[in-house]
């Protein structure tokens, strides 16, 4: 019971993180919601498994946030493989600004526009570039990203550089 409460707290805390990852990989709002739920379930199962193994799944993880982000990214990639709709959501998907958390009227309109451009731009990047940039924007260090993706830190640096170039180019082309 205590474990369930802990996992619930964890899901509450990291729901925005999972939602951002889902939005990076899926533009369609209803599919995004499905993906967030799949991520939550995967996180739940992963934590259950980790506690059964005495927390061995966490060994080597920098933080719970890293662990959640890794599971969520895996689920997102899995979703992309399954749905095979990457082409659809890079071209057809429209960012729905009504679903953002920024409801306060004091929010800067330009910032909203930037957010929209950024998400649309991110979704146009190749998955490998999208992943590193999304994790970097989430505030993870290159070392943490390397551990989550299972690649070398130097490879992360290269991808980040390419991803930034491509995103700058894409956002420059957007109206």
Q: Which spans of this chain sit near another protein (rule: CB under 8 A)?
A: 8, 11-12, 15-16, 18-20, 22-23, 29, 32, 36-37, 40-42, 44-46, 49-50, 57, 67, 70-71, 73-75, 77-78, 80-81, 84, 95-96, 99-102, 107, 111-112, 114-119, 126-128, 131, 134, 136-139, 147-151, 164, 167-168
- Closest approach, Cβ 73 to another protein, in A, equals 6
CA distance 47 to 57: 8
- Closest approach, Cβ 65 to another protein, in A, equals 14
Q: Which is nearer to another protein, 92 or 97 (CB)?
A: 97
86 contacts: CB under 8 Å, gap ≥ 6: 80, 127
CA distance 144 to 132: 10
Q: Which is nearer to another protein, 91 or 121 (CB)?
A: 121
What are the φ and ψ backbone dihedral angles of 63, each rounded to 5 degrees?
A: -160, 170
Candidates 154, 156, 150; CA nearest to 60 is 150
């Amino acid at each position: 019971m205590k474990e369930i409460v802990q996992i619930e707290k964890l899901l509450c805390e990291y729901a925005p993180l999972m939602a951002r990852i889902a939005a990076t990989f899926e533009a369609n709002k209803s599919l995004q919601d499905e993906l967030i739920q799949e991520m939550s379930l995967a996180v739940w199962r992963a934590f259950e498994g980790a506690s059964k193994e005495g927390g061995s799944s966490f060994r080597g993880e920098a933080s719970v946030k890293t662990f959640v982000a890794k599971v969520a990214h895996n689920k997102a990639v899995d979703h992309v493989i399954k749905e095979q709709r990457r082409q659809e959501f890079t071209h057809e998907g429209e960012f729905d600004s009504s679903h953002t958390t920024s409801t306060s009227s004091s929010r800067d309109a330009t910032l909203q526009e930037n957010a929209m451009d950024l998400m649309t731009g991110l979704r146009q990047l190749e998955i490998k570039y999208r992943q590193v940039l999304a994790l970097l924007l989430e505030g993870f260090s290159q070392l943490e990203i390397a551990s989550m993706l299972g690649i070398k830190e130097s490879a992360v640096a290269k991808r980040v550089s390419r991803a930034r170039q491509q995103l700058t180019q894409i956002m420059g082309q957007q109206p």
